[in-house]
Structure 1
Amino acid sequence: MAAMNTANGMCGLVWINGVNFKNLREAGNAYGPWADIVPNSVNFDFESTAIKYDKGVPTEGYEFPYNTAQSVFIWSGAPEAQPLSVNEIKRWLENEGKGKFAYANVTDFTGSLFVRTIFHALAGGAEVFTSPLTANAAMEARYMQKSPAVWQFLNDIKPYLYQDPATGGAIYPQTHAEVQQLMWSNLTLLDCAYDVNLAGRQIDLGNLPPHTVAYVLEGQPGTIANTNYVAIPINAQSRAASMAVGNFIGSLEAMFTRNEPEGWGALQSYNPKVPHIEGAGWNTAFNYLENHVSPAYPSVEKLAEFRLGELHSTYVERIEADWHTFVGFA
C-alpha cells in the first residue's frame, strides 16, 4: 500500500485472516473498528475466542466474520460411547480403547491439531496466551509453566496408542491418510480432522460404518476452529459502501446461501443462541442443510457452543517443536 495513500485505493474489502491480517494491522492499513457495530454484527458473538482472536491476534472490530472451518473428532465405535473430553479419551485408551487410536506426527496438520487440542485443554488457548510468544518474557514464562502438563499427558497415552505390529511400540504416521487407513481397516475407532464433512463422505464411500459420527469435545476443551474474515483497507474509497457489503455478508440469508452444499458448503460462524435467530428457526434450516449432506454431521448449536479460536502461529511452531523434543523422540 503506497505511503500516505489513505483515500483512493483500488480495493474496498479484502478476504483475510491470519498473518495477512496481522501485517495489515501492524502497518496501520486496516480501517476500523467497524465490524462489531454494523447492524448484522448482532448475528455473531464477538467475545467467542474463535472470532475475538484471528490466530491469536485480537480482531478488535477490524474484521468481520466470513466463513469458518472447525475441527471434529470422528468415532466409529459403539453408538453413543464416544469420549467427550481429553480426560475421557485418556480413560478410554487406558481401558477398552487400548490400541484403538492413532494420531499423526505433528508435521502433518491433523497431528498438530490433536496436540494443540490437548494444549488448549491443559495449558490454555488464546484467552490465556494473549500475545505472541517470541520476545515476550511473560508469555514465555507462562508457556514454560503450563506446557509440561501437555507433554506428560501425551507421554502417558503413548503406551495405549495403536502399536506398530513389527516393533510393538507406538507409531506416529506421517500423514492423515495413513491414520484414516487404520480406521477404515477397523484397527482404530477414533480420529480427529479439520473437516466436519469428512465422516459423512467416508460413510458414503463405504470406508466407515453407517453409525460413525463427527462430534465436538463437550467437556474439555471443545474443538479448534479457524475463522476467515473480511476487512476494510484504510484507503478504501467508500468506507460506507465497504461496510454495507460487509454487513450483507453477515446477513442470515447470505450465510445460508454460502452454507448450501450445492454451492460453497461453507460452515458459518453465526451465534445460534441469539434469540432472533433461534426463535425464527434459522438453526433448524442450517441443520437441515448439514443433515442433508450427512446425518453424521454435528449440529450447528454444538459446533458453536464448543468452538475454540486458534493460537498465535508462534505458539503453534513452538508446540510442534517441543512435541518432537518431549514426546515424539522421547
Structure 2
Amino acid sequence: MIFQLFNLKLASIVLLVSFSVSNVVAAAAETLDASSPQWQQTLKNAKGKSVYFYAWGGSKSVNEYLRWAKREIAKQYGVRLIHVKVTDPGEAVSRLKAENGRTSAIDLTWINGENFAYLKQHDHLLGNLWSSIPNTAKLATDDLPITVDFGEPMDGYEVPWGIGQFNLIAEESVFSNAQFSADDLLTIARSNPETLTYPRPPEFHGSTFLKQLLVNLTQADQRLYLAATQEAQEELLPILWTYLDKLHPLLWQQGTAFPTSSAEQFLLYQQKSLAMAVSFNPNQWIKEKATKQISSSSVRRSFIDGAITNSHNLAIPKFAPNPEAAKVVINFMLSEQAQQQKFAGEWGDPSVLKSMFNSRSSLQAHAEPHSSWQLILEDAWQQRYGG
C-alpha cells in the first residue's frame, strides 16, 4: 500500500493513534443512505440556497475546477456555490473567531491541520458530517490517511476532499535524483546559488518545507508526532536553525526575501528565475508539462523520508446560515463525477474514494507532524528570519 502513514521508526505511534482512528472509521460506517427520507428532505431544503465557500484562491487550476463544480451543482441541485477566494486558510478561522457564535458569513470552508484543530477544539464546527452525508460511505479509509488530521481525529467535524503530498517541481539537471535529503539540498544550493527558495511561512507550502527539513535533520524524531513539549523544542529546533543559517545565504535573493506564495514561486520557476517550485499536488508536474506551462526537462522530486502527506478537507461552521445546502455541496464533491473531474482535469488532485484509489498517482508517504509543531515553527521562523 503506497500510502504508509508512518515509517518503521514511527510504528509505536501508529499503535497510539489506532484507537481513535478505529472510532472514526466506525462512525463513518454509520452513513446516511441517499434514498432515505432524511437526505431527500436535505435536498429539498437546500434548493434555491447559496453556499459561501471560503477556499484558497491562489491556484488557476483549482479555481477552474470550482467554476465547473458551481455549474454542475446549480444544474443538479439548484444550489448556488459562491467561491470566496482567500489567500490563506487562516482567514476563515479569523472570521469565525470574530463572529463569536453569531450567524456566520461562511457556509463551507476548505481546511486542515492546525486550523481544523483550533476550530474543533473551540466548538466552531458542525458535527456528525460523516453520518449525515451519503457519499462519505465511499471514502477510502482503508487505503488513505483520511480519518486523522495532523494528529487530530476528525470525529465527524470535517470530511476529506483530496490528498496532498509535498513535492518539488524542478529542473532535472539540478535535481538529478528522485529523492533528496537536507544535506543534498544544501549541496545543490551551493552548486546553483540563488536558484532555490521556498514560500515565506506561514504560507502552508513554506511551513511544510520547514517540517520536511526538520523530519530529515532529526531522523524523524518520534516527538515530532506528539504535542510539542518545551524540552522537545529546545532539543530539536536548533538543529533546523543551524541548517537554515547555512542554507539561506545560498537561496534566491540570498535569503533576504521569500516568495509570498507557491503561485509566486511557480511563476518564478516558469520564468526560469528559479530551478524549483513547491507543490502539494503529486500530479501537478504532469499537468503543467502536458499544457507546456513548464519546461520539458521538469521533473517531480521529494524528500528521501517520503512526502509529507495529508488530506485537505471540507467543514461547515456551527452557525453557518445554510448548513443543509453545504452538505449537498460536500456530497457532490465526493461523487465519482466530481472526484474524476478533479483528478483528470487541470487540477490533478488524487481522489479520496475507494472506487478511484490509484497508488500510481502518489508518492511514498510520510506522516504529518503533530499540528502543534506548525505554529511553533512559524512563530520561531518569523522571529529569526522574518525581518
TM-score (norm 1): 0.60
The 2-side partners of 1:60 and 1:107 are apart by 26
In structure 2, relative to structure 1, the CA distance for the partners of 1:98 and 1:130 (3 Å cut) is: same
| Paired residue secondary structure (2:248) | helix
1:30-179 equivalences in 2 (<5 Å): 30-32=126-128, 43-45=139-141, 51-60=146-155, 62-78=157-173, 81-82=176-177, 84-87=179-182, 89-90=184-185, 92-93=187-188, 96-106=191-201, 108-122=203-217, 128-131=224-227, 139-159=229-249, 161-162=250-251, 164=253, 169-176=254-261, 179=265
Say which SS state the counterpart of residue 74 (structure 1) adopts: strand
> For 1:93 and 1:77, how far apart are their aligned partners in 2?
12
1:291-330 → structure 2 map (5 Å cutoff): 299-302=360-363, 305-306=364-365, 308-309=367-368, 311-312=370-371, 314-327=372-385
Cα pair distance change 1:319/1:232, threshold 3 Å:
closer
Paired letter, 1:143: Q
How far has the Cα of 1:222 moved from its partner?
1.2
Give CA-to-partner distance per residue, 1:244-275, whole Å, 9 cap, x none: 9988865656632443417xx4623538xx7x
What per-residue deviation string (whole Å, max 9, x for no partner) do you get for residues 99-142 of structure 1? Answer: 431224325554333223323444559984444x6xxxxx3332
SS of 1:147 mapped into structure 2: helix
User: Which one has more relative contact order, counting CA pairs under 8 Å at least 6 apart?
Assistant: 1
CA RMSD of aligned residues (A): 5.1
Offset of 1:76 from its aligned partner?
1.5
TM-score, normalising length: structure 2: 0.53
- Go from structure 1 to structure 2 and tell me whether the alpha carbon gap of 1:194 and 1:154 turns closer, same or farther (over 3 Å shift): same
The alignment of Structure 1 onto Structure 2 pairs a total of residues equal to: 283
For the 8 Å contact 1:68–1:268, the answer to whether it is kept is yes
**Given that residues 56 and 311 in structure 1 are in contact (C-alpha distance below 8 angstroms), is that contact kept between their aligned partners in structure 2?**
yes
CA distance in structure 1 between the partners assigned to 2:257 and 2:193 by the alignment: 15
- Give the SS at the match of 2:235: helix
- SS of the equivalent of 1:66 reads strand
Structure 1 residue 259 corresponds to structure 2 residue 259? no
Structure 2: gaps of 5 or more residues? 1-37, 47-106
Q: CA deviation at 1:148?
A: 1.8
Q: State the 1:197 CA deviation.
A: 6.0
Paired amino acid for 2:257:
Y
| CA apart distance, 1:306 | 1.7
Deviations 1:290-319 (A, max 9, x none): xxxxxxxxx4232xx42644752x533321
The aligned counterpart of 1:214 is 300
**1:139-187 superposed Cα distances (whole Å, 9 cap, x missing partner):** 333223222222122223234x2364xxxx4443343466445534545
